């Protein structure tokens, strides 16, 4: 069984807080503190050569820079999907982190059925971040969270409930997280799988090779998350 990440907060601007997921010294807020919120992976990967930004990232940077100059507000969470709890009293809702660039984050929140998940709005300001009370509220509702600093395996993110017990989050064709509804526990929940893989595998490459990295990272995900989650579901019906 994998250990769940510790949860905490870090100050970004003034007295305002951003939600942080800590896993073996890793901090989600560390990426927000970097220029324009771009993952360090897109600039340098463990001493490797700098990776050129593609057109999509450049456009995102331009948009983010414009937003910062204008001091605009935006919704911190972007709604994707929700599923009803087996007892019908709650919705488990999947949201994208709407302010990170290059390292998409995924929040799964447990909301009362009276709350419309598609209308949830958490204000975020470039200069001030989110209000402390909003951050506390997110923390109180969160059941699963992860983000991918390399931007890999991000296609088709979705939630599903299996056997009326296992709330499973998947993306890129792999299971990434499992919340056991019977015992109310995030049984499999690594905040930053890419960093976990990089630290434990010792992966190094003299010249950046995204295809090679994706293959090695995918093998690690399958062995350490996807297969373990599938086995857990099979043996804990």
The DSSP output letter for 216 is H
Q: Are 228 and 2 in contact (CB under 8 A)?
A: yes
Q: Is pTM beyond 0.75 here?
A: no
Each residue's pLDDT tens digit in the chain (237 positions)?
323 333 333 323 333 333 333 333 233 433 332 333 333 333 333 333 333 345 445 555 665 665 555 568 889 999 999 999 999 999 999 999 877 666 789 999 999 999 999 999 999 988 888 899 999 999 999 999 999 888 899 999 999 999 999 999 999 999 999 999 999 999 999 999 999 999 988 888 767 888 999 999 999 999 999 999 999 999 999
Distances (CA, A) of 27 to 11, 77, 196: 12, 18, 12
Residue 152's SS3 state is: coil
Query: From CA 81, how far away is CA 109, in angstroms rounded?
Result: 11
CA pseudo-torsion sign 81, 4, 152, 236 = negative
Distances (CA, A) of 103 to 66, 223, 228: 20, 22, 24
Q: Give 222's contacts (C-beta < 8 A, 6+ positions apart).
A: 174
Quote the pLDDT of residue 93.
98
Query: From CA 158, how far away is CA 108, in angstroms rounded?
Result: 10
185-189 β-sheet, strand order: 158-162, 166-171, 174-180, 185-189
Quote the pLDDT of residue 63.
57
Quote the pLDDT of residue 66.
58
Element (H, E) at 19: strand 16-23
Total length of the chain: 237
CA pseudo-torsion sign 170, 174, 177, 180 = positive
Catalogue the E-assigned strands of 86-225: 90-97, 105-112, 123-125, 142-147, 158-162, 166-171, 174-180, 185-189
Place of tokens 């073996």: 24
Pick from 218, 201, 195: nearest CA to 45: 195
Query: From CA 219, how far away is CA 165, in angstroms rounded?
Result: 27
Where do the domains of the chain lie?
6-235
């Amino acid at each position: 069984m994998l250990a769940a990440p510790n949860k905490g907060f870090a100050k970004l601007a003034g007295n305002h807080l951003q939600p942080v997921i800590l896993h073996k010294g890793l901090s989600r807020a560390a990426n927000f503190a970097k220029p324009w919120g771009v993952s360090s992976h897109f600039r340098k990967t463990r001493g490797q050569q700098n990776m050129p930004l593609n057109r999509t990232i450049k456009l995102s940077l331009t948009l983010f820079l414009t937003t910062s100059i204008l001091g605009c507000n935006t919704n911190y969470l972007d709604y994707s999907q929700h599923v009803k709890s087996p007892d019908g009293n709650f919705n488990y809702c999947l949201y994208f982190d709407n302010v990170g660039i290059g390292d998409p984050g995924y929040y799964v929140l447990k909301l009362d059925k009276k709350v419309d998940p598609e209308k949830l709005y958490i204000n975020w300001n470039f200069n001030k971040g989110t209000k402390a009370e909003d951050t506390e509220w997110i923390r109180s509702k969160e059941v699963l969270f992860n983000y991918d600093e390399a931007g890999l395996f991000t296609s088709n993110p979705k939630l599903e409930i299996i056997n009326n017990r296992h709330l499973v989050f998947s993306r890129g064709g792999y299971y990434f997280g499992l919340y056991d509804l019977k015992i109310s526990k995030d049984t499999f929940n690594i905040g930053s799988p890419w960093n976990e893989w990089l630290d434990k595998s010792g992966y190094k490459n003299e010249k950046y090779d995204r295809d090679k990295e994706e293959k090695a990272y995918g093998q690690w995900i399958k062995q350490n998350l996807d297969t373990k989650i599938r086995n857990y579901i099979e043996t804990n019906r």
